[in-house]
Structure 1
């Protein structure tokens, strides 16, 4: 676990180095269980959400969103293939929200990202993956359900589905 903490700190430091160039940056440190084919493991992410922008005069907004994550490998031999690789991934996309800051539903969000990864499993079987999250963000906390898969474009498409709880702070 100390190696995992060192790598998480390094990812946070990389995001922190870029922070002066980006105002109103929100950093979320997230962790929780990840499921694939009924086998649970641990997932840890550092996510950066940047300035929110309106779509014209609409009630919808978007914010650039990047994340670095780690999904612990599983020592499982299923379907004749070992699926024990640890997964490191980098992802980037947008967080979408609706309403203004005073609306109760403005805390809810949907995030979509494209990810590049190191490692292969039956769940995450290609170099590129799609990341979708739906969740709630408060001032200091975030809760989300996240699914990562390759949409069947290359190899198996079992994916990883995780429940993440995060602590957030603004730079």
Structure 2
């Protein structure tokens, strides 16, 4: 938020893929548990919503892939999830948020750009944008 970094941790589970009709698109249910640490941003220190609270988050939605298993672009995905979280901050000011992710999922690693905000349904609506690097486990 506002170019001020903070530690973030997410654990995700992606379930079995389902083809969408006869198209080359597939979807998978996915769930996320996350934690975003608070941070001190002076200009928000005395506002109704500060930036000090750490946020715990749970989200569930769909991950979408395109292409066949051997296509080079197959590991690319987009994901959309509604989320509930604890706390209120300048970035996440309502109890619910929307999580949008674009990423690459290899066999053992993933790289994602994720944005979380309430879609301007409540002010302030600064949102959190993050780069995530992950380790994939096949359980």
TM-score tier, shorter chain, comes to: over 0.9
Instruction: Structure 1 unaligned segments of length 5 or more: list them.
Output: 1-35
Alignment-derived partner of residue 71 in structure 1: 36
Alignment-derived partner of residue 135 in structure 1: 103
- Once the two structures are superposed, what CA deviation does each residue of 1:59-110 show, in whole Å capped at 9, x if it has no partner? 0000000000000001223244222000000000000000111111110000
Flag the structure with more relative contact order, 1 or 2, with Cα contacts below 8 A and sequence separation at least 6. 1
* C-alpha RMSD over aligned residues: 0.9
Alignment-derived partner of residue 72 in structure 2: 104
Alignment-derived partner of residue 2 in structure 2: 37
Partner SS state of residue 74, structure 2: helix
Give the paired residue count.
Answer: 136
Higher-helix-fraction structure? 1
Alignment-derived partner of residue 134 in structure 2: 166
Q: What is the TM-score normalised by the length of structure 1?
A: 0.78
Map residues 9-158 of structure 1 onto 2, 5 A cutoff: 36-79=1-44, 80-81=46-47, 82-158=50-126
Instruction: Structure 2 unaligned segments of length 5 or more: list them.
Output: none
CA distance in 2, matches of 1:89, 1:78: 25
Q: CA deviation at 1:139?
A: 0.2
CA distance in 2, matches of 1:56, 1:145: 28
CA distance in 1, matches of 2:38, 2:15: 30
